[in-house]
Amino acid sequence: MKKQKMFWHIFMYLPIIFSLLLAVRVTYINHRQSVALGPKLPGAPTLNANQRVMLPKPQIRSHFTAAAPASLKPMLRWNKVPGAPVYELEVFDHDKKIYSNAYVFVNGFNLVLPDDFASKRITWHVRALNLDRLPMTEYSVMETTYVNPKLPAVQYPIPTVNYNKGNGTAMLYPVFNWLPIAGAKEYEVEILSQPPENPMGTEPSQYRIGQGLSETSELYDEFPRFSTTPLYWRVRGFNEMGEAVGTFSPAKPFVTNPDKPYTVGTLGDSITHGGGALSYSPADWEYDYQYYLKFDTINLGLSGDTSATMMERFEDDVLPFHLKYLIIMGGSNSLREGEDPDAVIDDLETIKVKCLNNDIVPVFLTLPAINPANIFRAFQEDTVDNWQKSFAKVNAYIRTQRHIDLSTKLPEKGVLPTYYATDGLHLDIEGKKLMAAAINGQWDEAIK
């Protein structure tokens, strides 16, 4: 079968982004002041600019004991700290620091100890940092990891995505996340129609139906994946010479079944697709508003969408699921890039008509404010000067339709405070929770 490619998302360039951020770092107190000056809305805490707010320290998830030690290439793991874009790791041999890394972008690290490492154990701890390279947490409790140089080092990326495990955890355009391995400069994701005939192997499976490459620890699939039976994915690493590093990971299932009786779908751009805080993708469910809804949905969002591309893919991506309701949120990308708001309104109106012609009830979401300075800081992308006027015109149209008013929970006027979206556009955990709270609270009235 012909191989299908996948596209590289902006988050693939996080190391470059973070190096740019260092050049425009601001002080911690100024960041906290910008948070404190945000509008006081239901469910939104207000922080004192003079307070130092620290989150709970990371909890260690990997434990290697004297009875069950690791090889000289242990995978060190800890829980995700909500909103943390990066972590700092320190490793010790007795009292001597032997390794440190303040650019760990996921909640795990594949440490490599030298072949002649003489100690039987190491100790290590980790903490979360914010965009300004300042601590968001204290260091974790010091963890002792026992190692045995005689054990073979079996390396493979560790998948961190669990699809179909709660509301909103099925998506048409899946995203694949994993913990990277030492020595790998590129990763290959393989999509399978059945479990592989060569689990933990080094060669492609005969059941391969899709494939994509990534230079980081995530990959966004640009192809819609739906099937009445489960699909599977796995990942492996390659070194600079293009040689395989270790084996494929265990294969993980995911199901996006058009025959499942989904009642509600969500159509939109990356705000709908999910993700936030720069380092987290749509497959980090806590960054998806659908995860917090009181009902299940099928996520039809696609990162990078404009109102025009949402309209264009309606027949292919919406109709196969036989929905009763479609939650629609779009236009932010179009408007911040200078698209005429009347053109965006025409696109949304066309989507509405397509819904009605197919017995689907369209429910629009109003557009929250954005933060152009933070968008530029994160993505080096400019926003047109008149974005607020354009957003207001589109929101005025939305309020003439069946809709959910997100301004009851999130700011619509002014500039979006950093507290809600680190990168100025993609709402973080609290922002997604507030989106869901607005939808849950207004849903019954909206669909009457």
Domain that residue 83 falls in: 54-152
Task: Kindly report, residue by residue over 143-189, the tens digit of the pLDDT.
Answer: 999 999 999 998 999 999 999 999 999 999 999 999 999 999 999 99
Query: Is the confidence at residue 43, as pLDDT, over 90?
Result: no
* Residues 206 and 341 grouped into a single domain: no
* Residues 378 and 268 grouped into a single domain: yes
List the structure tokens of 257.
């079944």
* Residues 124 and 200 grouped into a single domain: no
Query: Is the confidence at residue 39, as pLDDT, over 70?
Result: no
* Residues 183 and 309 grouped into a single domain: no
Sequence-ordered alpha helix ranges (H) in 236-360 = 270-273, 307-312, 314-317, 332-336, 341-357
* Residues 222 and 334 grouped into a single domain: no
* Residues 67 and 210 grouped into a single domain: no
Residue with tokens 């601001």: 26
* Residues 188 and 58 grouped into a single domain: no
* Residues 120 and 103 grouped into a single domain: yes
DSSP 121-190: EEEEEEEEE-TTS-BSBPPPPPEEEEB-TTS------EE----SSSTT--BSS-EEEEE--TT-SEEEEE
Mean pLDDT of 264-287: 95
Task: Kindly report, residue by residue over 213-252, the tens digit of the pLDDT.
Answer: 999 999 999 999 999 999 999 999 999 999 999 999 999 9
Task: Kindly report, residue by residue over 54-107, the tens digit of the pLDDT.
Answer: 999 999 999 999 999 999 999 999 999 998 989 999 999 999 999 999 999 999
Kindly report the backbone phi and psi dihedral angles of residue 102, in degrees, each rounded to the nearest multiple of 5, phi listed first: -105, 15
Given 226, 254, 282, which residue is the final one in a domain?
A: 254
**CATH classification at residue 391:** 3.40.50.1110
Look over the chain and give the mean of its residue pLDDT values, rounded to a whole number.
89
* Residues 241 and 130 grouped into a single domain: no
* Residues 276 and 373 grouped into a single domain: yes
**CATH classification at residue 250:** 2.60.40.10
Q: CA-CA distance, 53 to 419, in Å (whole number)? A: 12
